[in-house]
Amino acid sequence: MSAYRDQHFLIDPKAVDRIINSTEVCGRTVLEIGPGKGVLTQALLCAGAVVTAVEIDESLLGYLTEHFSDEIDGGRLKLVLGDAARCALPATDLIVANLPYSVSSKILFRVLRMDFSEAVLMFQKEFADRMVARIGSKECGRLSVMVQTYACVQKCFELPPSSFSPPPQVRSAVVKVIPRDPLFPIANKEIYASVVRTLFSHRRKTVRNALKSARGELGDDKVQNAFSRIIPEILDSRAEELYLEDFATISNLVS
Ligand code: SAM
């Protein structure tokens, strides 16, 4: 099956160089997600990386197999047909991807559960801005908190629609993601994710009222326990006024 029609392929050689130059590539083991017609694959190989590329589209995989036969025979490139949101992914050092924006979130959260040292990923600009938004600011949301809990993120640069063919309707941005352990202990990662979701899905409510609305999900006794132990300054704040430590404190008290 071909997913081809919705794809915006990178065509600007300067943009390709900027992506490759955002990090050290030579000698590294790279997982590329969604190689498409191989423009980044080619640049990664030229820069001295050993690449495994996972592509969901069979027709593109056929094209890549033909185009890169020498690199495949030489062991510098391995092509895998699969959905990177679900298939087994190899252990890797660096992850590089320019994905369709419709699967950004799914793939990003998959990537964050993997063992790797660095990722250079392209997103729609607005998505990238939300990823890097300062925690405790109006721009910050669930995505910012969940990503920054598990990684350091840095927006490297933006690209205009003209860097792609066909041009998308939006600007794009490249973000560097470096995983790290949470800065504050998290007793239960699932409850943490659910508390962050609850607080931002009621972002106009105070923490006190947002937690009250989620008593069914989080457990009445646990929410009562949290109310008796969380300081009033936090209970009276809204999600966008909290720091990472506050999200950890709240979730640990309802875990
Ligand atoms: N990296 C190429 C480039 O920069 O020109 C292609 C970019 S195109 C926006 C996205 C690519 O990701 C397409 O080749 C598409 O088939 C592939 N893709 C989409 N969803 C995928 C998934 N779930 N797993 C693996 N590849 C996927």
Q: pLDDT band for position 177 (50/70/90)? A: very high
| Per-residue pLDDT at 226 | 87
Cα–ligand 1 centroid distance for 4 (angstroms): 8
CA-nearest residue for atom 12, ligand 1, is 34
Cα–ligand 1 centroid distance for 55 (angstroms): 6
Stretch 2-29: mean pLDDT? 89
- pTM of the predicted structure, to 2 decimals: 0.93
Q: pLDDT band for position 4 (50/70/90)? A: low
| Per-residue pLDDT at 85 | 92
| Per-residue pLDDT at 99 | 87
For residues 145 and 109, what is the distance between their CA atoms, to the nearest angstrom? Answer: 12
| Those residues with Cβ within 8 angstroms of residue 245's Cβ, 6 or more apart along the chain or in another chain | 183, 184
Cα–ligand 1 centroid distance for 123 (angstroms): 12
The class level of CATH for 9-179 reads: alpha beta
Stretch 172-201: mean pLDDT? 96
For residues 167 and 38, what is the distance between their CA atoms, to the nearest angstrom? Answer: 18
Residue 98 Cβ inside 6 Å of ligand 1? The answer reads: yes
Domain residue extents for the chain: 9-179, 189-253
The amino acid at residue 135 is I
Fold of 189-253: Helicase, Ruva Protein; domain 3 (1.10.8)
**Beta strands 77-81 and 164-165, pairing class:** unpaired
Average pLDDT, the chain: 94
In the predicted structure, residue 169 carries a pLDDT above the cut 60: yes
Stretch 158-166: mean pLDDT? 97
For residues 74 and 62, what is the distance between their CA atoms, to the nearest angstrom? Answer: 18
In the predicted structure, residue 6 carries a pLDDT above the cut 80: no
Cα–ligand 1 centroid distance for 33 (angstroms): 7
In the predicted structure, residue 33 carries a pLDDT above the cut 90: yes
Phi, psi of 248 (to 5 degrees): -65, -45
Cα–ligand 1 centroid distance for 168 (angstroms): 14
Residue 34 Cβ inside 6 Å of ligand 1? The answer reads: yes
Stretch 226-244: mean pLDDT? 93
Q: pLDDT band for position 255 (50/70/90)? A: confident
Find out whether 203 and 240 touch, Cβ atoms under 8 Å.
yes
Cα–ligand 1 centroid distance for 134 (angstroms): 29
CA-nearest residue for atom 11, ligand 1, is 34
In the predicted structure, residue 65 carries a pLDDT above the cut 80: yes
Closest ligand 1 atom number to CA of residue 54:
25
Residue 8 Cβ inside 6 Å of ligand 1? The answer reads: yes
Q: Among 60-64, 65-69, 148-152, 229-233, where is mean pLDDT lowest?
A: 229-233
In the predicted structure, residue 144 carries a pLDDT above the cut 70: yes
**Secondary structure tally for the chain: helices H, strands E:** 13, 9
| Per-residue pLDDT at 1 | 43
Residue 56 Cβ inside 6 Å of ligand 1? The answer reads: yes
| Per-residue pLDDT at 5 | 56
Residue 92 Cβ inside 6 Å of ligand 1? The answer reads: no
Cα–ligand 1 centroid distance for 196 (angstroms): 30
